[in-house]
Structure 1
Amino acid sequence: MPSLTVILGAIVLIIIIGLAGLKILGIWSKKHPPESFGIEFLEYDPGTPNFVSSKASKKDRHVEPLKINGDSTQALSDLKDIVSSFPRTEITHISSDELRAETTSPFFGFVDDLVFILQPEESQIEVRSSSRVGHSDMGTNAERIQKIREHWEKRTPD
């Protein structure tokens, strides 16, 4: 029978290998963004519960778009200020009708994608937050969009 020292050593080794594997997965996620964005990306369902979107057809993955009250031309600029204020979040693209950002988890460096598309004719901004890797996000993306929504509603008068 192996000694306690050998068993504990094996457990520690397994933990170290597992943590290293997760870190490598985080690095991989940083280097492999989605191939396309836009409305198609908002509607895309990978079949895993690791995203939320205002265009999701499944109820448990659906979040409401951000409502625009007032000048839609200022909307993405205001949203950029909100999104960029979140820790470990980087704006990767902004145009007249789209904002994209990446947010990175603190330890392993997993990357999540944020996409916001201005729909001025509907007075709203379509939203998506999705994990690049993993099966479940344990509610992280829904929580992130909710926090963004709270900041948005504080900044946007009725």
Structure 2
Amino acid sequence: MPKLLKLILFLTIGGLVAFFVARWLVQRASPLPENLGINNGRLTPCPDSPNCVSTQATDDGHSIPPIRYVGETAVAHQRLLSILQADAQFTIISQTPIYIHAEAQTAVWRFIDDVEFFFDEADSLIHFRSASRLGYGDGGTNRQRMEAIRTAFLNE
């Protein structure tokens, strides 16, 4: 086998091993945050980094409108839960009648983002927050994800 072919084969195998080791390390470095959930009718605020969106944020970089629903909260909850369960990127971590916490996993690097939904029964709104566990920026991934969920919910 020529030296160049051996070198290419070695680099390809080495690159694949490095890729999978890096993915494994990313998963191990992403523990579940302790500050998730509802506190006094509010989800945890977004950090200063741009890798989070929330319907309860007041600044333009993090703010996103909530989803308005009509009818019973239980029906809206089930509709949203069905959307999440139909999408392979989501794993449901916990839920109550007015709250859902899911993990979303990115396709290539398998970064884990926390996605939370709070059903505000008094105003018939679904407040949500989507935040990356690691890194600083997200290239708009969290905002795009939540807009896709909104579209699916409103079109169902």
TM-score normalised over the length of structure 2: 0.81
Map 1:19-98 onto structure 2 (within 5 A): 19=19, 20-21=21-22, 23-29=24-30, 32-40=31-39, 42-98=43-99
Distance 1:18 1:44, change over 3 A: farther
Map 1:112-151 onto structure 2 (within 5 A): 112-151=113-152
How many residues align? The count is 148
Distance 1:96 1:136, change over 3 A: same
Distance 1:125 1:84, change over 3 A: same
Deviation per residue, 1:12-41 (Å, 9 max, x gap): 9xx779744454123321xx1110322357
| Equivalent position of 1:154 in the other structure | 155
Q: Which consecutive segments of 4 or more residues in structure 1 shift more than 3 A?
A: 15-23
What are structure 2's unaligned runs of at least 5 residues?
1-7
Deviation per residue, 1:86-138 (Å, 9 max, x gap): 22211111111101101111222210111001101011011011110010010
What are structure 1's unaligned runs of at least 5 residues?
1-7
Q: Distance in 1 between matches of 2:46 and 2:100?
A: 20
CA RMSD of aligned residues (A): 2.6
Q: What is the identity percentage for the equivalent residue pairs of Structure 1 and Structure 2?
A: 27
Higher helix share: 1
